[in-house]
Amino acid sequence: GIQVEQSPPDLILQEGANSTLRCNFSDSVNNLQWFHQNPWGQLINLFYIPSGTKQNGRLSATTVATERYSLLYISSSQTTDSGVYFCAVRRSGGSNYKLTFGKGTLLTVNP
Amino acid sequence: GAGVSQSPSNKVTEKGKDVELRCDPISGHTALYWYRQSLGQGLEFLIYFQGNSAPDKSGLPSDRFSAERTGGSVSTLTIQRTQQEDSAVYLCASSLAVGGHEQYFGPGTRLTVT
Domains and CATH numbers, chain A: 4-110 (2.60.40.10)
Chain A residues closer than 8 Å to B50 by CB: 97
Q: Per residue in B69-95, pLDDT tens?
A: 988 899 999 999 999 999 999 999 999
Higher pLDDT, A94 or A26: A26
Q: Per residue in A28-82, pLDDT tens?
A: 999 999 999 988 889 999 999 999 999 999 999 999 999 999 999 999 999 999 9
In chain B, DSSP assigns E strands to 5-7, 10-13, 19-24, 31-38, 42-50, 65-69, 75-79, 88-95, 104-105, 109-113
Q: Please determine, for residue B40, whether its predicted confidence score (pLDDT) is greater than 80.
A: no
Q: Per residue in A78-100, pLDDT tens?
A: 999 999 999 999 999 877 789 99
> Looking at the partner chain, which of A41, A99, A104 has a beta carbon nearest the beta carbon of B103?
A99
Q: What is the CATH number that goes with domain B5-98?
A: 2.60.40.10
- Using pLDDT thresholds of 50, 70 and 90, give the confidence band for residue B20: very high
Q: What number of other Cβ atoms are within 10 A of residue A31's Cβ?
A: 22
Which residues lie across from B13 on neighbouring strands? B113
Q: Closest-CA residue in chain A for B58?
A: A96
Distance in angstroms (rounded) separating the CA atoms of residues B102 and A25: 18
The answer to whether the Cβ–Cβ distance between B102 and A86 falls below 8 Å is no
